Structure 1
């Protein structure tokens, strides 16, 4: 693969990720760029993930608008290799099915399912930000008889992981701000490079009014908003690159923590700063588990790691507990959720809260509505 072609493709994808595109547009335009350096069969499979649980929240494929339940289950249960969740937790963050099976993919049910769809090779990439949070996944496929995915192609796919993850995170946040799902939905303000307020979403005033030093009625934005916008604009260094997403955690006047995300939007030759304000809930899965099953904070921690596919030993290490204590927590979790095994627990959470989100997103995409992230929770 030519170095120049890879560099140009990377720059183009980074620019798309920072352009403020909706998620489906980002996927479609990025697919064309990727094909120029990593040829693939038919179309990529794109996924969004809940970073807290590493469970799928949406998928997009031009030739498969509805993901069959058996393929969903393949990503949900740890019964095979090359799963998105496993790759998201791996050091490399990318894997081919041939590598994962030691060169004999015929041993994998995943490979047999792919063959029925006309694909022989599979390259899965976790879309992880620089901080390591996995916001999505990318699957590329090749038909029987096609050249194997080479090391340089896997390396390129890994390199574009971070900008694609940033683009997915921006698109999900912007989409929820523009088309709010509930009263706790994020709010959005867009500022010009000259610090003029260009636009704001309905409802954002509730968050701005709760931030220190803000006076929405008088036209004064909180200093935290201006600071995050300035950080985002500075990160581009006057170039066409999308820059970094600036993040700030601010204690509001009412005593709750709010998260501010600042991102540069490029387009039409103008640079603008979008600032998204939302409540500081690190993951929606926690409140869901508490309200639905009455799990304690520690039981929620254990459940999140079970959903990610971690072993008892790994959970004990992560939470600084003994394996016996982890097993005791699991016993309590099983009793509260009405299941008998880890597999049943994963299935209950996934098919109760994540599959409904996937199916909702499958309906939203043809209607040109923003894709939703996180589990689907009744409001």
Structure 2
């Protein structure tokens, strides 16, 4: 078959990455490029949050029938079926077929029985776009039941030719983040006196204050969340910090500090929340401790309790205690329920709202 040369296919994939803008569009271009070398009948691409190995978006119109997507995503979000992305991410191979993943018995897979057989696309291969153990995207390929299965040679060819795609995806995410920042006001400064009345307000600070989704104290003309933070900074040693949401759905971070001097003041810096901070909102919403956040991240990526104990230098009994507590906080009873809840509570609403993804792999708001 023409185009099977690894060097030639690698060059064409690299050209697609250089000449295509947008993380999803780039992966679509890669899919079409490899199709000439490894034919397939249906396909989809995903952008992946490297912290949880859960999807943050993608393209599905060339994939399975949309009627099957809710069930397909529910099975995927559980993270325990054959070819589950967290399992693949921990493995050594970047491209794996369903036949290989099930030891030649695809009927062991829930999504094979419930999705692939009814749709007629029973041959499947998944390709991870990853670098340094971080997954940034995935390509899922299907062939119909009457077509030959994907071979080990197919998997090796696509894996080798797409080794540089992850870096290109991340580059496009960074560019998306930069473009988004161009339309956002920079940090603003608000100065208050000891009675929390305004001394001065920069233009950027006024911009953010006008957009805060909170009631306003009529005498001072300030949102109550700002006054609450000012009170914390005034009454406690050290700086105070909080995150607030604007009416448009953006997150804003406020840093408040009591300034010593002849006339004491309270300084409040207001700025757009960085994506790395937004990722912490997921854990904050369930009131997880620092250790529980580490455990939930490792669970979501498919690690066993024994592996988690070794990675965190803890006993398995201690890990079990952390898992029991975080399951109680999140309201789940198993790893599958945990990852599904994280996906449907945190990822799916943002995917449906088409929230762009930034350079960390997390949503920009």
Q: Give the TM-score taking structure 1 as reference length.
A: 0.66
Kindly indicate whether the alpha-carbon contact (under 8 Å) linking 1:353 and 1:376 is maintained by their aligned counterparts in 2. Answer: no
**Shift of residue 375 of structure 1?**
5.6
**Shift of residue 282 of structure 1?**
5.4
The 5 Å alignment of 1:330-341 reads: 330-341=323-334
Kindly indicate whether the alpha-carbon contact (under 8 Å) linking 1:354 and 1:375 is maintained by their aligned counterparts in 2. Answer: no
Equivalent residue number for residue 62 of structure 1: 61
What are the Cα deviations for residues 191-211 of structure 1, in whole angstroms up to 9, with x where unaligned? xxxxxxxxxx345976xxxxx
**Shift of residue 40 of structure 1?**
0.5
Kindly indicate whether the alpha-carbon contact (under 8 Å) linking 2:78 and 2:335 is maintained by their aligned counterparts in 1. Answer: no
Query: Secondary structure of the equivalent of 1:147?
Result: coil
What are the Cα deviations for residues 148-204 of structure 1, in whole angstroms up to 9, with x where unaligned? 2122210122123432212221222222322x3xxxxxx4xxxxxxxxxxxxx3459
**Shift of residue 325 of structure 1?**
0.9
Equivalent residue number for residue 224 of structure 2: none
**Distance (Å, rounded) in 2 between the aligned partners of 1:15 and 1:38:** 18
**Distance (Å, rounded) in 1 between the aligned partners of 2:279 and 2:357:** 18
Distance 1:111 1:341, change over 3 A: closer
**Distance (Å, rounded) in 2 between the aligned partners of 1:309 and 1:321:** 18
**Shift of residue 7 of structure 1?**
1.6
**Distance (Å, rounded) in 2 between the aligned partners of 1:375 and 1:281:** 6
What are the Cα deviations for residues 292-324 of structure 1, in whole angstroms up to 9, with x where unaligned? 122111110001011112110011111111101
Q: Does 1:352 align with 2:345?
A: yes
Query: Secondary structure of the equivalent of 1:21?
Result: coil
Kindly indicate whether the alpha-carbon contact (under 8 Å) linking 1:128 and 1:161 is maintained by their aligned counterparts in 2. Answer: no
Q: Does 1:168 align with 2:177?
A: no
Kindly indicate whether the alpha-carbon contact (under 8 Å) linking 1:293 and 1:336 is maintained by their aligned counterparts in 2. Answer: yes
Aligned length: 278
**Distance (Å, rounded) in 1 between the aligned partners of 2:32 and 2:95:** 20
Equivalent residue number for residue 280 of structure 2: 286
The 5 Å alignment of 1:1-379 reads: 5-19=5-19, 21-42=21-42, 44-63=43-62, 68-112=69-113, 113-129=115-131, 131-178=132-179, 180=180, 187=181, 201-203=182-184, 284-289=278-283, 291-361=284-354
**Distance (Å, rounded) in 2 between the aligned partners of 1:9 and 1:28:** 15
Moved over 4 A (4+): 1-4, 64-67, 202-206, 278-284, 370-377
For structure 2, the 5+ residue unaligned runs are 188-271
- Larger Rg computed on CA atoms: 2
Distance 1:334 1:32, change over 3 A: closer
**Distance (Å, rounded) in 2 between the aligned partners of 1:341 and 1:288:** 18
Kindly indicate whether the alpha-carbon contact (under 8 Å) linking 2:80 and 2:336 is maintained by their aligned counterparts in 1. Answer: no
Distance 1:79 1:88, change over 3 A: closer
**Distance (Å, rounded) in 2 between the aligned partners of 1:106 and 1:288:** 35
**Shift of residue 81 of structure 1?**
0.7
Equivalent residue number for residue 217 of structure 2: none
Q: CA RMSD in A?
A: 2.9
**Distance (Å, rounded) in 2 between the aligned partners of 1:52 and 1:310:** 13
